[in-house]
């Protein structure tokens, strides 16, 4: 089992009081498996992804990823986990504004110590961003930024790929192409893919689909 | 509508109190230094004018001797008989105990009423004033010093400047041993018509017109100009802060502007509202600035007073009077500064299209084009500075060279830094290192102004520091040469002097008379000294800039004169030129000597030549050469056996100590101003970093998400600040040295008349570097605390929100 979540809970304290977002999530992913995560806006999909990515702490329950129990990691190990064991495609891309596209794509791979120029060239071609390498993020369209963000994550070859609506800014045709690339790449590297999407059509292209409602996996 | 709009606009400041504080503080600091220095200058100038009108009756026409020292009593009598309404004055220095007082002897009966803020009081007072032992009118401070050292009755007058006193002319004549020699004649404004002309009656007299600027005021001009330049520099550095905050405040309110516009607020109303807002803030800051300026001025004034006293003998009271015009000028300069630094922002608002998308930080993302233009402008300025330095003339040109050098260097700094960072980025392969350089480069636009301000402040520190230290070293070397005699003695009167001349040779190696006469040479009043030029001392010790080995022989034989560097440069003299000295005789120039710390020209001739041409000079002062070990014994002998009061003997070491103290005091003010400027630059850096730290999250969050710890990010932030500080510091050293060169070789030559060699003090740079480092760490501390205490939740909001 590459990833397993047991009874994971998360709540936010806001001005209106305590807001329970996740009320006990159980979820398992094997290596090479791809799972679609669907749910209404505000149901907690991004929240869940952030917990798995090691960006935030769960209030209760256990998340075990690549053999690590996230709750037990100290700050240094947690950073190391983010660097090497997981890759996250953000809903809003979050490219590094000071680096050009080429440097953005190789950034995570280099940090993870898995920089592979040949693999990177292949990715760049598959994603169709080879003409954009010298540009800066602010000079890209939303769709272009999204493809770069996907390239950045895949270039690092993480065992677990998390993607938050990676095709939200792409037209249907490009979206399909990009999703197929992600699927084939995760399959070929044996990585697991957890992908948030609103589209049932896209969800059907994956191995399995789970739905988040009322803070639980339905 | 307007009211609602105003509330919306002003709410920005309520939500960002720190930004408001930065704006107000930046502007008020800038105003404070500027108005403080203006206050010092006006105070000093007013005091010169007061002293001139009080002591020298400068609002009246005066008659001065054309040649030599004095006007004869008979000349005065001739003028009076011919019907001229003139009044005699005898002036001279006299020592009461340890205190030297300028005594001005006047004739209360003939002194024109207009000359008298001086009132001799009632008739009985007049009798006391005119009869022995006489009355001396002095200031409170002088009176305290004279207490017990004179039989004269001391009368205190609040109008009297320090170190001077009025006495009756008869009494002054006795004290000063003038024997009928008058210093000058004051001409009453009312004269009978058709008087015989002065030229006919007294051909050896020159006329000094009324209302001329006092000598001291002219002498100190360059000093005040220096202060003004410093004040302006500090003001400019402060304006950088104001410019940056206004730019930010406008940028952050772009969305508000757009909303207000689309709700129907006209562009002109919006501009007007913003201008009103800035005006109110400027007035508030100006008000605070003037108050701080008053404290700055009263803090600096004693130092300035000491400087003026030491350099020029100008007496300025160490206290400040609050003048109403301060408020107006202080507020005006604050408003002017705000206008200058907000013009660009206001212009942008004016041209802002209603529908362009909100682009946060567009103000900071100076286009590559902009940087290129800036670098080009900087290069043009540097070039202009070099041209001016080569071909320009005059003090104004000197300051223009300084100004364009500093501004040019500041303008090219961002371009140079950016290029350096790009090179570093290119040559790094590790992801984090590459990101570090790239990210630093991205921060540059937001830090540029602060870094430019820092460069100005550091360069000024290096430049002025190098100038002062070079000057100090040269000055001390020069003192060691120049103060050759082991003891300096001053006789109390001529009888004692002639006894001294008889007594001293038997008790010492040699005796060097220090006699001088004041007169007009090449249109300036200056001193002519006599030197016993055949004495070895001069040959061995006197610091000559120009002249062959035999100059002293020629001086001794009366075949040549020496002039000091100031006179030589100012009048464009050359060795071999003939100099016409008071009395109309001529003598060729055979050499030039350096004469630091003296603002005036000076001439040296052989002692015999001096006494032949001016037989009546006072012969009170002597330098005594003796093996140093025997000096204390001779000193004791002079007091015990000869009977000279101890305070009339001063040894070489004490004199050097005094001179050095005067020197150090002179530049204490400069040091203080340097620190102030550096402080403002540090504050500019701090406010910029704080501003940036607020918008750093989106730049840092992705890096954090990919596995870099917050702690490491914080460390990199510190490192970034240090790198930028260091780079700026490194750039400031060559700029500072260039500045020092301009100060030493151009400004000093124009202002004081002497040129000094540039010397280099790396230790000083090290200290400055450490101070700068300390300031850097201080300036990054608060912004860093902000960053390192970010909770992951804050970083997550970056991912959760579309910005
Ligand atoms: N830092 C926070 N503080 C308080 N509430 C938060 C915070 N982050 C998220 N929430 C709330 O938690 C809920 C879940 O947010 P989340 O971003 O996980 O939704 P989502 O399922 O990803 O929605 P979408 O499909 O719109 O992206 C929302 O109601 C959101 O308002
Ligand atoms: Mg989401």
Q: What is the pLDDT of residues A109-126, one digit of tens each?
A: 999 999 999 999 999 998
Q: What angle separates helix B710-742 from helix B762-788, to the nearest 10 degrees?
A: 150
- Residue B488, both tokens: 């300096």
Buried-state track B589-626, b at ≥16 Cβ within 10 A, e below 16 = bbbbbbbbbbbbbbbbbbbebbbebbeebbbbbbbbbb
Domain ranges of chain A: 32-56+74-217
What tokens were used for B119? 């009132």
φ, ψ of residue A38 to 5 degrees: the values are -115, 170
Q: Give the pLDDT mean for B20-39.
A: 84
Cα(B502)–Cα(B477) distance, integer angstroms: 33
Residue B379 in domain: no
Among B213, B240, B271, give the residue marking a domain's end. Answer: B213
Instruction: Classify the C-alpha dihedral B443-B444-B448-B450 as positive or negative.
Output: positive
In terms of average pLDDT, the best of A66-80, B79-93, B99-113, B615-629 is A66-80
Please state which of the ranges B193-202, B296-305, B403-412, B752-761 shows the lowest mean pLDDT.
B193-202
Domain at A32-56+74-217, CATH from 3.60.20.10, 2.60.40.10, 3.90.660.10, 3.40.50.300: 3.40.50.300
Which residue among A97, A103, A108 sits closest to B706, beta carbon to beta carbon? A108
Whether B658 and B803 map to the same domain: the answer is yes
From B592, B630, B608, select the one nearest B557 (Cα to Cα): B608
Q: Look at residue B437 and tell me whether its pLDDT is greater than 90.
A: yes
Same domain, residue pair B5 and B64: no
CA distance B429 to chain A (A): 9
* Domain co-membership, B782 together with B724: yes
> What is the structure's pLDDT at B364?
41
Indicate whether B359 pLDDT > 50: no
Verify that B64 and B207 share a domain, yes or no.
Answer: yes
CA B725 from chain center: how many Å? 28
Residue B55: per-residue pLDDT? 66
pLDDT confidence of B357, banded at 50, 70, 90? very low
CB contact under 8 A, B701 and A94: yes
**Which region among B74-83, B435-444, B502-511 has the lowest average model confidence (pLDDT)?**
B74-83
Sign of torsion, CA B366 B369 B372 B374?
negative
Does residue B783 sit in the same domain as residue B663? yes
Q: What is the pLDDT of residues B187-198, one digit of tens each?
A: 877 777 777 777
- pLDDT at site A106: 93
| Domain limits for position B774 | 387-476+654-803
Low-confidence winner among B460-464, B511-515, B594-598, B691-695 (lowest mean pLDDT): B691-695
In this structure, the answer to whether residues B398 and B347 fall within a common structural domain is: no
More confident residue, B297 or B210: B297
pLDDT at B760: 85
Do residues B684 and B721 both lie within one domain? yes
Average pLDDT on B180-184 reads: 81
Same domain, B41 and B71: no
Distances (CA, A) of B290 to B246, B275, B471: 21, 22, 34
In this prediction, residue B412 carries a pLDDT of 93
Judged against a pLDDT cut of 60, whether residue A144 lies above it is answered with yes
- Asked if A57 lies within 8 A of B792 by C-beta distance, the reply is yes
**Confidence category of residue B360, pLDDT binned at 50, 70, 90:** very low
C-alpha distance from A76 to closest chain B C-alpha (Å): 7
The whole model's pTM is what? 0.74
What percentage of chain A carries pLDDT values higher than 90?
Answer: 62
Phi-psi region of B356 (alpha: psi -120 to 50; beta: other; left: phi over 0): beta
pLDDT in tens, B651-664: 888 778 877 776 77
ipTM higher than 0.90? yes
Q: How far apart are CA B519 and CA B64, in angstroms?
A: 10
The Å distance, Cα A40 to ligand 2 centre, comes to 9
In a domain, B271, yes or no: no
Query: Which pLDDT value is given to residue A7?
Result: 94
Indicate if the pLDDT at residue B362 is higher than 60. Answer: no
Is B734 in a helix, a strand, or coil?
A: helix
Atom 2 (ligand 1): residue with closest C-alpha?
A12
> In chain A, how many H helices and how many E strands?
7, 10
Please judge whether B802 and A103 are an interchain contact, meaning their C-beta atoms are less than 8 angstroms apart.
no
Q: Which chain B residue shows the shortest CA-CA distance from A13?
A: B793
- Measured by CA distance, the residue closest to atom 19 of ligand 1 is A42
Which of B536-550, B611-625, B629-643 is the least confident region? B536-550
Of B150, B185, B213, the one marking the end of a domain is B213
Per DSSP, the residues of B216-249 read: HHHHHHHHHHHHHHHHHHHHHHHHHHHHHHHHHH
**Total number of domains in chain B:** 4
């Amino acid at each position: 089992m590459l990833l397993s979540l047991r009874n994971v809970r998360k709540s936010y304290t806001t001005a209106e009081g305590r807001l329970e977002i996740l009320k006990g999530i159980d979820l398992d992913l094997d290596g090479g498996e791809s799972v679609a995560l669907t749910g209404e806006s505000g149901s907690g999909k991004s929240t869940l992804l952030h917990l798995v990515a090691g960006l935030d702490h769960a209030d209760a329950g256990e998340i075990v990823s690549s053999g690590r129990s996230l709750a037990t990691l100290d700050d240094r190990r947690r950073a190391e986990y983010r660097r090497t064991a997981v890759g996250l495609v953000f809903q809003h891309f979050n490219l590094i504004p000071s680096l050009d596209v080429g440097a953005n794509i190789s950034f995570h791979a280099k940090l993870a110590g898995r920089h592979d120029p040949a693999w990177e060239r292949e990715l760049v071609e598959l994603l169709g961003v080879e003409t954009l390498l010298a540009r800066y993020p602010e000079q890209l369209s939303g769709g272009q930024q999204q493809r770069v963000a996907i390239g950045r994550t895949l270039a690092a070859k993480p065992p677990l790929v998390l993607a938050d609506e990676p095709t939200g800014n792409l037209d249907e045709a490009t979206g399909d192409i990009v999703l197929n690339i992600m699927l084939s790449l995760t399959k070929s590297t044996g990585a697991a893919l957890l992908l948030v999407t609103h589209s049932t059509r896209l969800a059907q292209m994956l191995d399995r689909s789970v739905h988040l409602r009322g803070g639980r996996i339905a | 509508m307007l009211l609602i709009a105003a509330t919306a606009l002003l709410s920005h400041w309520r939500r960002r109190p720190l930004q408001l504080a930065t704006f107000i503080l930046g502007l008020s600091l800038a105003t404070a230094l500027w108005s403080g220095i203006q206050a010092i200058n006006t105070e000093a100038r007013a005091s010169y004018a007061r002293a001139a009108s009080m002591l020298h009756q400068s609002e009246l026409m005066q008659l001065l001797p054309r040649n030599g020292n004095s006007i004869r009593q008979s000349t005065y009598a001739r003028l009076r008989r011919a019907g001229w309404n003139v009044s005699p004055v005898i002036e001279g220095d006299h020592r009461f105990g340890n205190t030297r007082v300028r005594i001005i002897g006047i004739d209360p009966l003939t002194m024109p009423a207009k000359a008298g803020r001086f009132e001799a009081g009632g008739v009985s007072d007049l009798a006391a004033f005119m009869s022995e032992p006489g009355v001396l009118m002095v200031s409170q401070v002088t009176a305290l010093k004279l207490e017990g050292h004179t039989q004269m009755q001391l009368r205190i007058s609040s109008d009297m400047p320090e170190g001077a006193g009025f006495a009756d002319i008869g009494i002054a004549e006795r004290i000063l041993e003038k024997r009928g020699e008058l210093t000058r004649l004051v001409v009453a404004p009312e004269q009978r018509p058709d008087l015989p002309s002065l030229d006919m009656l007294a051909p050896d007299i020159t006329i000094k017109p009324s209302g001329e600027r006092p000598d001291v005021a002219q002498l100190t001009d360059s000093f005040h100009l220096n202060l003004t330049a410093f004040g302006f520099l500090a003001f400019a550095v402060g304006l950088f802060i104001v410019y940056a905050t206004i730019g930010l405040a406008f940028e952050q309110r772009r969305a508000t502007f757009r909303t207000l516009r689309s709700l129907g607020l006209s562009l002109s109303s919006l501009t007007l509202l913003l201008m009103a807002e800035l005006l109110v803030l400027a007035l508030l800051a100006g008000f605070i600035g003037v108050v701080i300026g008053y404290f700055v001025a009263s803090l600096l004034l004693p130092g300035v007073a000491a400087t003026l006293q030491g350099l020029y003998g100008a007496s300025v009271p160490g206290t400040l009077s609050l003048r109403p015009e301060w408020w107006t000028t202080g507020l005006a300069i604050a408003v002017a500064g705000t206008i200058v630094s907000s013009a660009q922002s206001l212009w942008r608002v004016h041209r802002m299209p209603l529908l362009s998308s909100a682009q946060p930080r567009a103000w900071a993302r100076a286009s590559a084009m902009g940087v290129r233009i800036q670098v080009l402008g900087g290069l043009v300025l540097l070039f202009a500075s070099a041209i001016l330095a080569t071909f320009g003339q005059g003090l104004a040109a000197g300051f223009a060279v300084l100004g364009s050098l500093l501004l040019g260097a500041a303008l090219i700094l961002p371009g140079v830094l950016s290029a350096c960072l790009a090179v570093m980025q290119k040559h790094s392969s590790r992801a984090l290192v590459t990101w570090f350089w790239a990210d630093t480069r991205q921060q540059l636009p937001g830090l540029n102004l602060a870094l430019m301000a820092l460069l100005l402040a550091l360069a000024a520190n290096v430049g002025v520091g190098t100038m002062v230290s070079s000057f100090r070293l040269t000055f001390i070397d020069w003192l060691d040469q120049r103060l050759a005699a082991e003891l300096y003695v001053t006789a109390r009167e001529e009888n004692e002097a002639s006894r001294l001349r008889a007594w001293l040779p038997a008790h010492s190696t040699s005796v060097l008379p220090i006699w001088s006469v004041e007169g007009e040479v090449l249109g300036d009043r200056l001193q002519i000294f006599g030197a016993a030029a055949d004495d070895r001392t001069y040959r061995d010790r006197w610091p000559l800039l120009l002249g062959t080995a035999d100059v002293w022989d020629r001086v001794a034989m009366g075949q040549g004169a020496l002039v000091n560097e100031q006179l030589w440069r100012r009048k464009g003299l050359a060795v071999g030129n003939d100099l016409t000295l008071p009395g109309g005789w001529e003598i060729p120039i055979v050499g030039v000597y350096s004469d630091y710390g003296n603002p005036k020209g000076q001439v040296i001739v052989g002692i015999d030549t001096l006494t032949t041409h001016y037989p009546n000079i006072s012969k009170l002062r002597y330098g005594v050469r003796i093996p140093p070990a025997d000096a204390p014994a001779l000193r004791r002998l002079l007091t015990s056996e000869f009977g000279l009061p101890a305070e009339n003997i001063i040894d070489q070491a004490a004199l050097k100590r005094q001179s050095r103290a005067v020197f150090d005091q002179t530049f204490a003010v400069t040091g203080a101003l340097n620190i102030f400027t550096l402080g403002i630059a540090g504050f500019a850096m701090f406010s910029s970093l704080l501003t940036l730290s607020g918008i750093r999250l989106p730049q840092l969050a992705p890096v954090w998400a990919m596995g870099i710890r917050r702690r490491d990010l914080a460390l990199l932030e510190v490192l970034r600040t240090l790198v930028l500080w260091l780079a700026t510091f490194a750039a400031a050293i060559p700029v500072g040295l260039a500045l020092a060169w301009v100060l030493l070789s151009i400004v000093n030559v124009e202002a004081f008349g002497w040129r000094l060699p540039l010397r280099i003090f790396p230790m000083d740079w090290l200290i400055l570097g450490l101070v700068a480092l300390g300031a850097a760490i201080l300036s990054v501390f608060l912004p860093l605390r902000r960053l390192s205490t970010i909770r992951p939740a804050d970083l997550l909001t970056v991912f959760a929100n579309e910005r």
